């Protein structure tokens, strides 16, 4: 398979090969970058279209087409990245040097230069993602259940036996992936080494405008800032679940059984709020019930999200967004329901793909996905290699920052509530949000801790599952409800592993969204508690946000962070500020109780 098609111009060929006279020139470097960007934009468009069809029409044929388009794109990027090395050490204009650097770091999956291996890697990647999308648990003698139904059961059931059954059942879809994943790691590492990295994990950690080891240390620093808050929440939830399910199921000390936390992966715990809610802290409203009572449609849910961004000064989404997005699960075909935002042409063809349920959770998720879309359009005027977020945590944080402004006061302004509950209800509101945001932090960290160790060889294939649960116990304090073995491949039951989507971005986003929110709330002149501040309809806050988004990846992320917050350092104290009243309350509830595991 050729890395480049016949449309490659003579100028690009010269840029790739360099002159025979000797050392390349800065002008050759600029020409190389510009021609590379033009070619990559074309290939990215083809790959995005093929991937969209594959994700929304899962068939044997669409899988092949998507795999071929992705292989073509990866091969071209890998080839260009390797050729870009010839300009190392050259004194270049700052924008050219940064674009060359980003080119070398632009892949989360580097294809080996061998065409057969590159195609094999693309086929494995597509096969694993499709296996996840088509995954069903088919109990013996029973009806098959897809992830949507299992998700609802995990959220709503209070039967320990039922929860354990579907928890185990969903993980049966991942067992067949194990062999593929071993080969996937081998091929991915080979491609990364050809780009000069020790392995794929080092390649991922090199994308953050600092040395890979320094970035890993930065994550440790941020986790230590928030760990006391997580420990307090964990101890309180464990005690409440022990009261519900009994000491034979939930220990007084030790990890919490993972199937009891209201989520297939125990990554967010808001669904068990009714089990752990404090007395007399009913927030006074249920957004899910309100939305359903008003017969809000999936499209109207998305309109609410769009209106928030427009209120800050953003232009409305293009009409093609509404024509081409997928908002509901089709009845006649298989689709990947995992919510995602798409920038098909790197300009105006923005879409979301999501099987929307009329719930408060999906109301928030819509804001998150639209955050990607508005970010994508904001930086669309930048050179192609700068059309991304300052770092990938920024992309994930923007929509969630907006969601933090979905306060009771905001719901009153848009007519979904008659009046906001008084401050005496705040502990309930904060606890519900902490069950999402604070509970997620260690999960957001450990996914890539596992993968980095797998890519480096520290975790060999024969310890994949054991090491997975060791990390889940270390960071989250959760344990499987039944014994797991190396015949299982529980990491594969989480979409981002078979889809090879780096996950540290979500941990960073959980930190950054509160840092962004604190800065924007101050810009908006909010005087009340941070958790009651909404920037809805505030053009000054919107001006700051837009200015940062338009930078894209043109500058190192500390500069983008400074443009919004005034600080060049990520800071988890904002999440502590936001949840300060809850932390004080949790500490009182945990007096005399074991904390930690």
Q: Where in the sequence numbering do the catalytic residues fall? A: 338-339, 368-369, 372, 396, 496, 506
Please give the Cα distance from 35 to 76 (Å, whole number).
12
Helix, strand or coil, per DSSP, at residue 146: strand
Please give the Cα distance from 47 to 72 (Å, whole number).
8
Q: What phi and psi, each to the nearest 5 degrees, are found at residue 543?
A: -60, -45
Please give the Cα distance from 161 to 257 (Å, whole number).
12
Please give the Cα distance from 345 to 44 (Å, whole number).
8
CA distances from 307 to 314, 315, 322, 414 (A): 9, 10, 14, 10
Q: Mapped to the 3 state alphabet, what secondary structure does 290-307 carry? A: HHHHCCCCHHHHHHHHHH
Please give the Cα distance from 21 to 580 (Å, whole number).
65
Strands 350-353 and 145-146: unpaired
DSSP state of 87: G
Strands 350-353 and 340-343: antiparallel
* HSE (side-chain half, CA atoms, 13 Å) at 491: 31
Residue 560 near residue 551 (C-beta atoms within 8 A) = yes
How many CB atoms sit inside 10 A of residue 278's CB? 15
Q: Mapped to the 3 state alphabet, what secondary structure does 47-81 carry? A: HHHHHHHHHHCCCHHHHHHHHHHHHHHHHHHHHHH
In 3D space, the residue among 480, 504, 505, 506 whose CA is nearest the CA of residue 493 turns out to be 480
Residue 29 near residue 92 (C-beta atoms within 8 A) = yes
Question: DSSP characters for 477-538?
Answer: -EE-SS---TT--GGGGSTTTTTT---HHHHHHHHHHHHHHHHHHHHTT--S-GGG---TT-
Please give the Cα distance from 447 to 503 (Å, whole number).
6
How many CB atoms sit inside 10 A of residue 65's CB? 17
């Amino acid at each position: 398979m050729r890395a480049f098609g016949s449309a490659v111009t003579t100028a690009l060929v010269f840029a790739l090969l360099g002159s025979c006279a000797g050392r390349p020139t800065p002008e050759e470097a600029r020409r190389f970058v510009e021609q590379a960007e033009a070619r990559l934009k074309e290939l990215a468009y083809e790959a995005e279209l093929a991937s969209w069809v594959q994700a929304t029409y899962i068939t044997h044929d669409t899988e092949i087409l998507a795999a071929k388009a992705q292989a073509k794109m990866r091969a071209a990027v890998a080839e260009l990245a390797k050729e870009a090395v010839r300009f190392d050490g050259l004194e270049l204009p700052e924008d050219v040097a940064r674009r060359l650097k980003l080119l070398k770091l632009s892949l989360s999956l580097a294809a080996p230069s061998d065409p057969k291996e590159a195609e094999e890697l693309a086929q494995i990647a597509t096969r694993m993602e499709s296996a996840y999308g088509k995954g069903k648990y088919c109990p013996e003698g029973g009806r098959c259940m897809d992830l949507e139904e299992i998700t609802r059961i995990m959220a709503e059931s209070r039967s320990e036996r039922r929860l354990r059954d579907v928890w185990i059942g969903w993980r049966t879809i991942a067992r067949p992936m194990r062999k593929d994943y071993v080969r996937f790691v081998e091929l991915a590492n080979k491609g990364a080494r050809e780009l000069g990295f020790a392995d794929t994990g080092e390649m991922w950690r090199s994308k953050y405008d600092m040395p890979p080891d320094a970035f890993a240390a930065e994550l440790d620093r941020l986790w230590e800032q928030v760990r006391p808050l997580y420990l307090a929440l964990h101890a309180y939830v464990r005690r409440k679940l022990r009261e519900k399910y009994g000491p034979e199921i939930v220990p007084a000390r030790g990890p919490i059984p993972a199937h009891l936390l209201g989520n297939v992966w125990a990554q967010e715990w808001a669904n068990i709020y009714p089990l752990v809610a404090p007395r007399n802290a009913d927030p006074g409203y249920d957004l899910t019930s309100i939305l359903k009572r008003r017969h809000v449609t999936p499209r109207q849910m998305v309109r609410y999200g769009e209106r928030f961004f427009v209120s800050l000064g953003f232009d409305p989404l293009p009409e093609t967004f509404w024509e081409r997005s997928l908002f509901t699960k089709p009845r006649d075909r298989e689709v990947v329901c995992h919510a995602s935002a798409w920038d098909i042409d790197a300009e105006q063809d923005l879409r979301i793909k999501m099987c929307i349920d009329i719930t408060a959770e999906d109301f928030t998720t819509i804001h998150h996905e639209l955050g990607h879309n508005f970010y994508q359009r904001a930086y669309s005027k930048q050179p192609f290699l700068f059309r991304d977020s300052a770092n990938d945590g920024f992309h994930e944080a923007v929509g969630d920052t907006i969601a933090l402004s979905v306060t009771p006061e905001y719901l009153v302004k848009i007519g979904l509530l008659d009046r906001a509950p008084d401050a005496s209800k705040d502990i309930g509101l904060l606890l519900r949000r902490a069950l999402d945001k604070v509970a997620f932090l260690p999960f957001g960290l450990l996914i890539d801790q596992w993968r980095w160790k797998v890519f480096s060889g520290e975790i060999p294939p024969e310890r994949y599952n054991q090491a997975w649960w060791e990390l889940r116990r270390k960071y989250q304090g959760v344990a499987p409800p039944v014994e797991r073995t190396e015949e299982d491949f529980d990491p594969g039951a989480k979409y981002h592993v078979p889809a090879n989507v780096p996950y540290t971005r979500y941990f960073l986003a959980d930190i950054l969204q509160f840092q962004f929110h604190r800065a924007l709330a101050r810009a908006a002149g909010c005087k009340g508690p941070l958790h009651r501040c909404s920037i809805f309809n505030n053009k000054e806050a919107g001006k700051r946000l837009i200015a940062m988004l338009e930078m894209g990846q043109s500058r190192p992320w500390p500069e983008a962070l400074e443009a919004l917050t005034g600080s060049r350092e990520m800071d988890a104290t904002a999440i502590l500020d936001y949840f300060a009243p809850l932390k004080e309350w949790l500490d009182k509830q945990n007096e005399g109780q074991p904390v930690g595991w």
